[in-house]
Each structure stands twice: as C-alpha cells, then as structure tokens.
Structure 1
Amino acid sequence: MREKLVCSTSSTSPIVDEIVIKDDEAKETETGKETKPDDFWNANVFDDANYVRWSEKTSKAKLQTVMVSTVKVCVVLGCLYLFICSISMLGDAFQVLAGKAAGDLFSNSSFLKNPITGLIIGMLVTALIQSSSTSISIVVTMVASGILEVQDTVYIVMGANIGTSVTNTIVSLTQSLDKQEFRRAFAGATIHDVFNLLSVLVFLPLEFVSGYLQALTKAIIDSFHIQGGADAPDMLKVITNPFVKSIVEINKTVITLVAQEVPLEKNSSMIKIWCETASGYINVTKLINETNVINGQNITTEVNVTELQKVSVGVRMCESPEDFLFANTGLSDVVAGVILLLMALIILCTCLIVMVKVLNSMMHGSVSRMVKKLINTNFRYPFGWVTGYLALLFGAGMTFVIQSSSVFTSILTPLVGIGVVQLKRMYPLTLGANLGTTTTSILAALASDPSRLQYSLQVSLIHLFFNLSGILVWYPIPFMRIPIAGAKFLGNTTAEYRWFAVLYVVSVFFVFPLVLLALSLANVWALISVIIVVAVIAIFVIVVNILQKRRPLWLPASMRTWEFLPLPMRSLQPYDTFMSKYLLCKCCCKGQTDDDVTSMTSSAVKKRDSASSSDVECCSDDVCDDGHLNPVFDMDNKETIDTHL
C-alpha cells in the first residue's frame, strides 16, 4: 500500500508538506506507470507498438525482412559459438593462473579429512580453475592412489558443486547496464548458487552423522558387476577445440602431480610445452619395508628395490603460432594467464552484448509472444506440474550433450535477463544441468583403468546422488522452492545496488571460504565457534522476519520492524553512498547525475507553482480532486517520483 500524503489546503502553500516515499509494494517504471514487483520477472519486454504484421507488409518489405533476419540469425549463432569458446578460454585462463595453487590445496590430505575444510577446498579449487570436472577428476586420482579415502571426498564434491556455479554468475555481470535485465539475469544465475548452498546446509551435517551417500553408492557398486566402457562423448569440445586450441593448450597433468606431491621440473608450466611425446622406461629405486621371519620373530628391514617405470619423453616442443598462440612464448604462467583472462573476458562480453542486442531486435509482437509462450507455458490442468519435470529432463539432456553445466546455464542467463526464459522455468533447467553434468562424469569413470574403476565410479555416484537429494528436497513441493525466492531477493538487491553483484561474487566464492579455511587451519574450535554464531544469528533473523510478516503481535513493539538496529546493520544505503562516492562511477551506480537532479527539481517546483496558481486542493489521502496523485519530491535522496496515473 502507498503511504498517505499530508496535503495543504492553502493555495499559497506547497502542495506537499510531508515528504514520503512509496514502499516496495508499488514501484515506478520509466513511463510513469506503476509496476508490481512480480511484473519485473514476468514483464513483456518485447512488446512493440510499431511492429507490422507479416500479412500487412509489401513484397519488398517481406524480402528485406527475410534477408535481415537471416543475417541476424547468423550473427547470433556466430556470437553464441564465440561465447561458448570464451567460457572455455576463461576456464583455461584460471587454470593457468591458479592451477598449481589448486593442486597445492589438494596436496595436504590430512586436513581434507575435516568436512568443513574439505568443502571449502573443493569450492575454492573449482572456483579457481572454473571446472568441477577437473577438480573431481583430481579427487578420483587421489582416491585411486590411496591418498584420500572415499568418505573424505564427499565434502569435496559438495564444495565443487558450489564452485562450478561461479561462471554463469560472472556472465550475468555483463548485463548490469540495464537495471531490469540485470535484475532478472543475476537472479537467473544465482538460483544455481542458492540451490547448491541450501543443499550443502542440509546434507553436509546429514552425511557427517549418517554417511548415507557413501553407504548408498557403495551398496550400488557392490550390487552390480560393473565393467569399464567407452569414454564419454565429447561433442562440445569437437566444436570448440579448433578455436580454443589455436589459442592455448593446458597441461592438466601438472595439477594432478602437484596434488600428489610429485616434484616438478623448474620450467614446468600449466601451458603445454611438448606437442609430441614418446613413451619410455626408466629404472626407479624405491625403499620398501620387507618382513622376514627369523627365529620365530617377524623382523622388518628396509631394502632397495629397482623397478621399471613408464614415462613420457618430450620429442618436439610446441611452437607459436603454428601449434597455438601461447606456445613457449617465454611468458610466466601469471602473465600468460592474465593476458588470456583479459582476452576471454573481452570476447565473452562483446559476444554477449551483441547477441542480446540482436535478440532484442528480433523479438517483436507476435514473435516474442510465441517464443515466450513456447518456453514458459505450462500444460493444462491437471498436468501443469509435468512441465517442470520435462524442463528438468531437457536441462539434463542438453548438459549431457555439451558436457558442461557452466556453458548451458551461462547460455540461459542472458535469455533470462532479456525476458525470454522466466525465472520459474530457469529453476528446473538449472537442476537438470546439475544432473546432466554428473552423468557425464559417470561415463568418464566407466572409461577409467579397471584398477581404480570402483573408486572413481563411487565418487561420481556420490556427486549424482547429492544433486538428486537436493532436487527431491527443493523442487517437488511448491512451497519448498526456496531457491527461487532467494534468487529474487539477490536480483532485487543488485538492481538497486549494482556494486553488490561484484561484492557477492568475491565474498561468496573467495573471501568467506578463505576466512573459514584460515580459521580451520588455526584452530578447529575457532571454526566451530564462528559457524555456531553465524547459524544462531541467521536463525534469529529468519524467525523474526517470519513473525514480522505473519504474527507481528507476538513480537515486542520495538521489534516489529528492524528500525531498532543502526542503519548500517539493516540497509545497504550507507555503503551505497560510500561506493558511489569513492569507489565506483556515480552515474553507473545511481543512474542519475547532478544535472538530472537539478532538472527534476525544477520540474517539481514548476508542478508545485502550477498547482498553486490553479488552486488545486488535496483531499485527506494521496489523490487530489483532479484525479491525479501528488508529485512527491524527496529532498534527502534527491529523487523525484513520477506519480501520474
């Protein structure tokens, strides 16, 4: 509801004696019309009053439309291809920059046995190298070599599930120029984050207490005689490799060797050095313990054993640009990684902006309505519930085909931003992508060596059943679809405070995990204490929010709103002032300049003087006798709210 205005009945006084701001129940668009909060998510952004139907066009206009549409489709497909390649390059850049550091994080197997530490390590490593498949494959190798037990990998897999969602969240930042597009795009991206975080909050303590994921997957493997099979299909890489591998090729073996604490050569690099290798054998002497029975006693002695070990020997070094652009350039991994990261971001942002603009120009009138109806409409009653599950299966199938949940959700994110895909449809598609990426890892595990097949497959099944458990909790029952509400909250927040999006990405995926990791390394009880305090505060806030909304009379009068707290503890406005003034571009964060404010101030004064001269009197509420709402001017925030009906 809008708050009432206190109006003056004197023609010589200002119309508005008390300045008020309408609350969130009714917001204004640029056209001055009231828009309900739900309209931000379901807005028909493609309506065009100047759209001409096909039947009303001349032959020349029809031919021109066909030619222009063909060019636009080719541009969209080309941008989509480069966009997918740029995401792959982005992952390669992070691996070059942080691949060895990620391996170092995995190398200390002692503290990986701590559930919280394992979760954080899995999250950090996956966020750094931008690939859950790579991080999980490292875990599989460590399990097969005996460095880790399967029960320790459960929490690392949970962390990898959270870390892999950072890619599409970064992609959503490219739509920050348009407030409403950014609202929808950021919500569409973070719905993945919220789902994964909530699933971890539920199933990490459950797994710690019961070990159900490990027991379930072990029972499945023991029940079937599983044999190795063919490798997983690699359809996406077949398409993108010609472009990506002409830029850089990554030596992922380095990460695995660092994780296994194998000494590396001084000139070792995350970028591939040798383009041609040959197999060879070397004599390796190992010190082993040998037990012999002497005089009825077991005597253990150390003996040297020499055995042949198969190694790869470099034959031809890679050359630039014949093999790929970054081949043996003499640049360090840090310099090469930064350059590659900048290239990937430039290509990603350019392609995404062009693709969104072209799609916007193609979506008009009946075309936009047809596309949105095809994607977002549910089946008729009583089969409406089936639609979401079909979308979930579609997301799983598409992710299985392209072998990357990050790519699939990153493609959907800009479509959510421009309004083609609604948030309620993005949710099951994202859940399907979570399932699809696990089936790929299962097929990859089936192609592994028979000696480590059981371990690699069990880790993949843990990944599958963790995601499946999360879906069973957060999707079938409508009121349990909390990730949608959480994503909307984050979308609304970032629409008002653009800098919050960057703060969210840096904090959730890097700062908070690093702080928790430091606490866990310093003292386990310090980590537990911090987690308990945060949990108590979170529960208190949730309970009070629910009571304020549903049972306010149950609370003391002072706690029926959050105004009893200092402003910095209940609002981002003080931080927004700091960010806008000192750190960020004022026009980007505020959307208004001082000239705009001056212009709107003059406009408000003219409206006031005009109303005074015509002796317009206000009634006791916010509607004047002429049927219009009073213009409201907020002197503190310097913001004029257009209130014409």
Structure 2
Amino acid sequence: TLVSLGMVRDKEQFRRGFAAATVHDFFNLLAVLIFLPLEMMFGLIGRAATTVADATAGAEAGLLNAIFGGIGTVVKGATSPLSNLIQDALSFLPGVWHGIIMIVVAIALILLVINFIGKQLKILMVGKAKAVLHTAIGRGPLSGITSGAVITVMVQSSSTTTALVVPLAGSGAFGLKQIYPFTLGANIGTTITALVAAFAFDGVEATAALTAALAHMFFNVFATVVIFGLPVIRNLPPRGATWLANLAAERKIWAAVWALGVFVVLPLILIFVTTAF
C-alpha cells in the first residue's frame, strides 16, 4: 500500500497500483469474515494445527524437524548476538516498558530489512530475471500462486514480494487478474518464515510456537482454496480493490483513511472488544 502511494501524482498509474496493493487486504478481510466465525464454532484450524504440532514438535519428528529445525537453529544463531545486545541495552527500562520498547525496535528493524531487500530486488529484477518474473506471473493462476509462494519463501517477506509487483501493476505491465493469484501465493509463502522461527524453540515453547505457525499456514491455505476455488466469491477481492482504487484515485484522502482504518483503527477496536468481553 505504501509503495502505491509513491505513484499518487499519476492518476491512472496510482489507480492500477493501489488496486494491486489492496487486493491482498480485501482477500484477507474476506478470509477473516468467513473463517473466524467457523473457527469460533468448530475450531477446525486450531485442532488441525494442534494435531500436526504435537506430531512434529518432538525429537521423533523425522525429516520435517531436521529440515526446519536446522534452519531455525541457523537463524537463531545468526540473530542471537544482536538480539541479546539490544535486550541488554534496554534492560534499564522498568517492567512492561522493556517488552514494549523491544517490540517497537523489532518492528522498526523488520521494516528496515524489508525496505533494504525491496531495493536490492529492484536492482536484480532486470534483463533475464525480469523476463522470468513476467512469464511466471502471466502464465496463469496456478503459475502465479506458485511463483508468489516461491519468491516469498526466498525473500522471507510477503510485503517485499507484493511491493515488487505493485510498480509493475501501476505501469500496466500486469493487470489485477495476474496480480491477484500472485499475492495469494505470497500469502502462503510468508507462513514458511513463521515455521522456521517456530522450530528454533525447544520443549513446551516449541509446541506452542509451532501451533501458532501452523494455524497461520492452515488459515492462508484454506482461505486460498475456498475463496479462489469458489467462482461465486473468487472475484470479490478484485472488485473491492478496484472500487477502492477508483475512490482513492479521485480523492486521495480515501487511501489514507483505508490505511489508517485497516492497519490501525480496526485492530485496536478488535483488541479492545476482545479484552473487554
């Protein structure tokens, strides 16, 4: 969404770019509207995640544990020195403030890394690499989903993957029909990051972390299968994104309202309702 705002001076380019950026938002909102009530009534995702986590978190998990556990160990070893340094530097903060500031620092570092990866990808996406990307996205829905997932696994960030194709959509190189399945693949690919992180834990913490990561994965996979698989609701996210992009292209304030509403106001309201009731 932020990447699309950089196109705001060109009305048509902004319209296309903002639609490509927000189709992901509309898909996720629709997925929540469908699966949250089902989860509250039947607990399908929670039970599936718990069952698989219990079977794979232990020492006898086999190949899956060996692969993801090894990756998780490498990631943990690479990040622990900086993590410990920041934690020690902020140790003077009292009580809950220590945790809050740690979260703020972590989010800031994530944004910096995503921004850096995005810049590097733009440098790399020229010539043959750019042609391959065009071929992968434009070949069809299945190819788009697969390429979105693979690229996201490689860069470990769906935001970076999406930010990579938004300028291409804005320029008219891809239509929303091609971008839509690509973002769904990115949605699935980003769950691998959580799985890798979960396998870096040990004992009871490993089971809890793996359960959360698997719930994230199952939610995205089920949502893609149901929403994209059912023709009656498949086109709702693109239609919503197109409608919003038309509004934002005419009056830019709607882009700011959407960003603040979806990413700040709505989560705060849900947190308040959850804690209050």
Q: Is the shorter-chain TM-score for this pair beyond 0.5, marking a shared fold?
A: yes
1:406 alignment partner in structure 2: 159
The structure carrying a bigger helix percent of its residues is 2
Q: Distance in 2 between matches of 1:389 and 1:233?
A: 33
Match of 2:10 in 1: 178
Contact 1:435 1:468 (8 Å CA) reproduced: yes
Write out aligned runs for 1:245-324 (5 A): 251=86, 264=98, 270=102
CA–CA separation in structure 1 for the residues paired with 2:3 and 2:154: 21
Q: Find the residue that maps to 2:71 and give its secondary structure.
A: coil
Match among 442, 454, 469 for residue 195 of structure 2: 442
Q: Does 1:231 align with 2:67?
A: no
Relative to structure 1, the CA distance from residue 454 to residue 181 in structure 2 (aligned partners, 3 Å threshold; closer, same or farther) is same
Q: Does 1:218 align with 2:50?
A: yes
Aligned-residue Cα RMSD (Å) equals 3.9
Q: 1:449 to 1:517 in 2, by over 3 A?
A: closer
How far does the alpha carbon of each residue in 1:391-427 deviate from its partner, in whole angstroms, 9 at most, with x for none? Answer: 2111111111111111111111111111122211111
Contact 2:145–2:184 (CA under 8 A) maintained in structure 1: yes
Matches within 5 A, 1:483-498: 483-498=237-252
1:513 to 264, 267, 272: 267
Structure 1 residue 480: Cα displacement:
2.2
Greater per-residue strand proportion: 1
Query: Cα distance 1:400–1:250, how it changes in 2: closer, same or farther (>3 A)?
Result: farther
Q: Is 2:254 the counterpart of 1:419? A: no
The equivalent residue for 2:205 is 452
Alpha-carbon distance in structure 2 between the residues aligned to 1:270 and 1:223: 32
Q: Deviations over 1:583-621 (max 9, x none)?
A: xxxxxxxxxxxxxxxxxxxxxxxxxxxxxxxxxxxxxxx
Paired amino acid for 2:86:
N
Shift of 1:181: 0.6
Once the two structures are superposed, residues 558-588 of structure 1 have per-residue CA deviations (whole angstroms, 9 ceiling, x without a partner) of: xxxxxxxxxxxxxxxxxxxxxxxxxxxxxxx
CA contact (8 A) 1:474 1:483 kept: no
C-alpha distance 253-461 of structure 1, shift in aligned 2 (>3 A):
farther
With over 3 angstroms needed to count, the CA separation of the structure-2 counterparts of 1:252 and 1:472, relative to structure 1, is farther
Q: Secondary structure at the match of 2:229?
A: coil
Q: Secondary structure at the match of 1:230?
A: helix
Residues 503 and 254 from structure 1, CA distance in 2 versus in 1: closer, same or farther, beyond 3 angstroms? farther
The one-letter code sitting in structure 2 at the alignment partner of 1:489 is W
**Cα distance per residue 1:519-562 (max 9 Å; x no partner):** 555x54xxxxxxxxxxxxxxxxxxxxxxxxxxxxxxxxxxxxxx
Separation in 2 of the partners of 1:519 and 1:474? 27
Matched letter for residue 195 of structure 1:
F
SS of the residue corresponding to residue 173 of structure 2 reads coil
Match runs of 1:369-408 below 5 Å: 374=135, 377-378=138-139, 387-408=140-161
Is 1:503 aligned with 2:223?
no
Please state how far the C-alpha of 1:189 moved relative to its aligned partner.
0.6
Deviation for aligned residue 1:452: 2.2
Identity over aligned residues, as a percent? 35
* Structure 2: runs of 5 or more not aligned: none
Distance in 2 (alpha carbons) for counterparts of 1:399 and 1:252: 29
Give TM-score scaled by structure 1 length. Answer: 0.34
Which secondary structure state, in structure 1, belongs to the residue aligned with residue 86 of structure 2? coil
CA distance in 2, matches of 1:416, 1:234: 36
- Report the CA distance shift for 1:396/1:483 in structure 2 as closer, same or farther (over 3 A): same
- 1:430 paired with 2:183, answer yes
Distance 2:204 2:159 in 1: 31
In the alignment, the residues of structure 2 paired with residue 498 and residue 234 of structure 1 have an alpha-carbon distance, to the nearest angstrom, of: 45
Please report the TM-score for the alignment, with normalisation by the length of structure 2: 0.74
Which whole-Å deviations, capped at 9, do the CAs of 1:229-250 have from their partners, x for residues lacking one? 2124989xx9xx9xxx9xxx99
Kindly state the Cα deviation for residue 172 of structure 1 after the two structures are TM-superposed.
1.1
Flag as ranges the 4+ runs of structure 1 deviating above 6 A: 252-255, 370-373
Distance 1:214 1:408 in 2: 28
Higher relative contact order (CA 8 A, sep 6+): 2
Q: In the alignment, residue 374 of structure 1 is paired with which amino acid? A: T
Maintained 8 Å contact 2:138/2:178: no
Structure 1 segments unaligned to the other structure (5+ residues): 1-168, 272-332, 364-369, 379-386, 525-645
